[in-house]
Structure 1
Amino acid sequence: MVALTDWDGLVSGRTDSYNTLRLVAILAPGGQSWASPFRGIADDDHDYFIKTLEGCRRDWARGSLAVEYVVGQAGRLIDAPVCENTLIRIPEEFADYEIAPGIALSPGIAHASKAIEHAEEQRDNLAYRSQDRNSARHAGVYALYDWCYGDDPQWLYDRDQDRSIYSHDHGLYLPPHHGTLDVEILKQCADEPNPLPDAADGLDPEAIASKQPAGAQSVMAAGPASI
């Protein structure tokens, strides 16, 4: 078990020197949603949906970008079906580019989620369980939602891959569920279950077993050794 004190000092002295992935072109501006994600091409020749601090329409919700990054990375630890997410640098040449009405880019670090070219988005109950490997992929969705205290569930189905499911847009996961990080609330909720309410019949039993992290502790309690 990792103690909260093990987090002390982990980010002191850090800079924004990240330069592994860079934005090279903007394909479409952001909309009117929570964080005004816009579509762009990075220097790895892939398309990404990109969220920036200035794109968050409420200053107090800027923590949603950190939450989204952490949950996406946690999903990869248990092989949950999450969209590939990463940091991305916004170069100086995009300074003041208007990504949404009244919202201009600033150079720096942003959050990027790799685009699925032909995606079908849904927000209601999980669907297409019998298609592709979704009986196993759905098990990862349930595990991630409970482990990271999910809220505002959103799914993408890849129409090019028999509607394989992806969980995405995790900015409102982790309590208190409005894009902020509150240490005391996280501690209070660390041992509380948060099951996805969808019916779980038809899930792959082997996938269920593989998605149970050792000790069944939540990501809030697991600490830096887990994320």
Structure 2
Amino acid sequence: MIGSASQSFACPFQVLASDGRRYFVKALGGCQEFARGSLAIEYVVAELGRLIGAPVCGNSLIRIPEDLADWPMPFGKLQPGIAHANAAIGRAVEARPALQHRAQDDNRSRHVGLYALYDWCFGDDAQWLHDVDDDRAIYSHDHGLYLPPHDGSIRADLLRRCADESNELPDPADGLDAEAVRRVSEALERINRDALVKVVRGVPASWPVTDDDLEALGWFLEHRAPAVAARLRALI
């Protein structure tokens, strides 16, 4: 363990993992009890981002070893087991909530994926990272407050209630890459149940999310995808 960001929701801490890479880790002990589903949200949103080509930070499940057990956390103690990890960017600058630097790197394309992911996953508390060493390339991160009710939990009743509501980023769409809009829209339209089942089944059983809530989440995402694609096309 080499650092923390305890002021952030879910209190991520930085580690040097056994693969030699740095990660920001979120564990159950960093969350209030009602919000421990945020780890599942983090995992699912990042996996969905890759399905549609949205720029999300590399993520993985990570095992907390026994020798770190009982490390003090804001809402408990660090426990051995599975946590969620985002790969650290070497030199990153965080920006929120407005999208910036559209003219740099390939952000005209990357921003398209952000519009799509935010709407599809009913985002909130938009947060972006810019890679200083890669011409300010943008990434979406810190997704623990995505999905209704935006409090770090997954609730089947609210997913069903909000399934047909739009949740678009308010940022002006000027200058978006039209080819990227086509590509991401088509990726949304190709989303199928098998792909979504694979994502939700990847949520560790040790995390406090019920099978009913995960089933509702899969339905929510499948149901929403075509409408999100249509709204994305309308941006240009």
* Shorter-chain TM-score tier: 0.7 to 0.9
Query: Contact 1:83–1:114 at 8 Å: present in 2 too?
Result: yes
Which residue in 1 is equivalent to 2:122?
Answer: 149
Deviation at 1:96? 1.4
Which residue in 2 is equivalent to 1:13?
Answer: none
Distance in 1, matches of 2:27 and 2:192, equals: 24
Which residue in 2 is equivalent to 1:74?
Answer: 48
**CA pair 113-219 structure 1, distance change in 2 beyond 3 A:** farther
**CA pair 224-130 structure 1, distance change in 2 beyond 3 A:** same
Query: Contact 1:147–1:218 at 8 Å: present in 2 too?
Result: no
Q: Does 1:184 align with 2:181?
A: no
Aligned-pair identity (%): 55
Distance in 2, matches of 1:165 and 1:75, equals: 13
Which residue in 2 is equivalent to 1:44?
Answer: 19
Q: Does 1:164 align with 2:137?
A: yes
Which residue in 2 is equivalent to 1:65?
Answer: 39
Distance in 1, matches of 2:145 and 2:173, equals: 23
SS at the partner of 1:212? helix
Which residue in 2 is equivalent to 1:5?
Answer: none
Could you say which structure has the higher helix fraction?
2
Distance in 1, matches of 2:65 and 2:36, equals: 20
Query: Contact 1:191–1:217 at 8 Å: present in 2 too?
Result: no
Deviation at 1:102? 6.9
Q: Which amino acid aligns with 1:32?
A: Q
SS at the partner of 2:126? coil
Give the paired residue count: 199
Deviations 1:52-84 (A, max 9, x none): 00111x210001110110000000001100001
Which residue in 1 is equivalent to 2:207?
Answer: none
Which residue in 1 is equivalent to 2:29?
Answer: 54
Q: Does 1:129 align with 2:102?
A: yes
Deviation at 1:104? 2.7
**CA pair 84-202 structure 1, distance change in 2 beyond 3 A:** same
Which residue in 2 is equivalent to 1:85?
Answer: 59
**CA pair 215-157 structure 1, distance change in 2 beyond 3 A:** closer
Query: Contact 1:87–1:109 at 8 Å: present in 2 too?
Result: yes
Q: Does 1:208 align with 2:208?
A: no
SS at the partner of 2:67? helix
Detail structure 1 runs of 4+ shifted over 4 Å in the superposition.
Answer: 100-103, 213-220
Query: Contact 2:11–2:74 at 8 Å: present in 1 too?
Result: no
Could you tell me which runs of 5 or more consecutive residues in structure 1 were left unpaired when the two chains were aligned: 1-25
Deviation at 1:224? 1.8
Which residue in 2 is equivalent to 1:3?
Answer: none
Q: Which amino acid aligns with 2:57?
A: C
TM-score by length of 2: 0.79
Distance in 1, matches of 2:156 and 2:191, equals: 14
**CA pair 225-49 structure 1, distance change in 2 beyond 3 A:** closer
Distance in 1, matches of 2:187 and 2:13, equals: 37
Q: What CA RMSD, in Å, does the superposition of the two structures yield over aligned residues?
A: 2.2
Which residue in 1 is equivalent to 2:227?
Answer: none
SS at the partner of 1:54? helix
Distance in 2, matches of 1:198 and 1:143, equals: 12
SS at the partner of 1:40? strand
Deviations 1:71-128 (A, max 9, x none): 0000000110000111100010111123x56743111110000000100001131000
Distance in 2, matches of 1:214 and 1:165, equals: 20
